[in-house]
């Protein structure tokens, strides 16, 4: 079996398991191969539903977790998105496919080497801006955002800057909790408040 066939099986398994529901997310997963975003020696692992090490103590999320987060975000074409934790850039490319050429994705990565390599992998996406910096501060120049996705775990609460940079009615998806285990939280902005919904346990590297 080649990588392409194995990747199709992974996508249909995500559907069967109920992680993947929407047609637009399924199309994005077919459009953006995970192996394009992995280091050469790890591409063979790209079709496994497992997190994969990226170096520097970081990992790229398992495909089922990516599907869960993208489904919670309820993404539409033309939206303005902020992602914290670019990592491999795979999730960034999926976001860019989902919002299309009229939308835009700002992605922030703390580790310069990862940011450099993701920037290379994402060079064909004109609707993506890669920023090196601390995602806890958000990125004010492109705010407000329709959606914010955080792919590393906050200890106790949603960082204030991210709440402020979210549009009214906008959605943030963020893991919150200890280094061992976190709750995946979906927050919807209602005026000054964020209405929070717990969406299950998860395990992410920490937001530093």
**Among 19-27, 132-140, 181-189, 195-203, which window interacts with ligand SAH (CB under 6 A)?**
132-140
E strand or H helix that includes residue 135: none
DSSP string, 48-71: SSS-EEEETTEEEPPHHHHHHHHH
85, 170, 177, 187: which one binds ligand SAH (CB under 6 A): 85
96 touches ligand SAH by CB under 6 A: no
Alpha-carbon gap, residue 186 to 108, rounded angstroms: 20
So which residues are the catalytic ones?
61
20, 73, 84, 99: which one binds ligand SAH (CB under 6 A): 84
Question: Quick one: DSSP state of residue 204?
Answer: -
Q: Is 194 helix (H, G, I), strand (E, B) or coil?
A: strand
177 touches ligand SAH by CB under 6 A: no
**Among 17-25, 74-82, 107-115, 162-170, which window interacts with ligand SAH (CB under 6 A)?**
107-115
Alpha-carbon gap, residue 82 to 126, rounded angstroms: 15
20, 67, 114, 154: which one binds ligand SAH (CB under 6 A): 114
- ω into residue 16 within 30 of 0, thus cis? no
Q: Which of 162/194 has CB closer to ligand SAH?
A: 162
20, 68, 81, 111: which one binds ligand SAH (CB under 6 A): 111
For residue 81, which of 105, 100, 99, 107 has the smallest C-alpha distance?
Answer: 105
Task: Give the dihedral of Cα atoms 44, 41, 54, 18; nearest 10 deg.
Answer: 0
Closest-by-Cβ residue to ligand SAH is 87
Q: Which of 104/151 has CB closer to ligand SAH?
A: 151
48 touches ligand SAH by CB under 6 A: no
The pair of three-digit structure tokens given for residue 180, joined into one six-digit string: 């061992």
The pair of three-digit structure tokens given for residue 16, joined into one six-digit string: 């069967």
151 touches ligand SAH by CB under 6 A: yes
63 touches ligand SAH by CB under 6 A: no
In the complex, the residues that contact ligand SAH under the rule CB under 6 A are 58-61, 84-85, 87-88, 90-91, 108-111, 114, 134-136, 151-152, 205, 207-208
């Amino acid at each position: 079996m080649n990588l392409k066939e194995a990747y199709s099986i992974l996508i249909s398994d995500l559907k069967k398991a109920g992680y993947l529901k929407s047609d637009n997310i399924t199309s994005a997963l077919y459009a953006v191969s995970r192996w394009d975003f992995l280091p050469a020696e790890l591409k063979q692992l790209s079709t496994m539903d497992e997190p994969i090490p990226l170096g520097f103590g970081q990992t790229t999320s398992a495909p089922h977790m990516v599907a869960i987060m993208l489904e919670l975000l309820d993404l539409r074409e033309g939206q303005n998105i902020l992602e914290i934790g670019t990592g491999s850039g795979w999730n960034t490319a999926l976001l860019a496919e989902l919002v299309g050429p009229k939308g835009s994705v700002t992605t922030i990565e703390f580790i310069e080497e990862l940011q450099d390599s993701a920037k290379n992998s994402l060079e064909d996406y004109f609707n993506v801006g890669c920023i090196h910096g601390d995602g806890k501060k958000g990125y004010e120049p492109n705010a407000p955002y329709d959606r914010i996705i955080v792919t590393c775990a906050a200890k106790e609460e949603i960082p204030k800057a991210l709440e402020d940079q979210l549009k009214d009615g906008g959605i943030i998806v963020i893991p919150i909790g200890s280094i061992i285990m976190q709750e995946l939280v979906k927050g919807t902005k209602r005026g000054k408040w964020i209405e929070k919904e717990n969406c299950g346990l998860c395990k992410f590297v920490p937001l530093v």
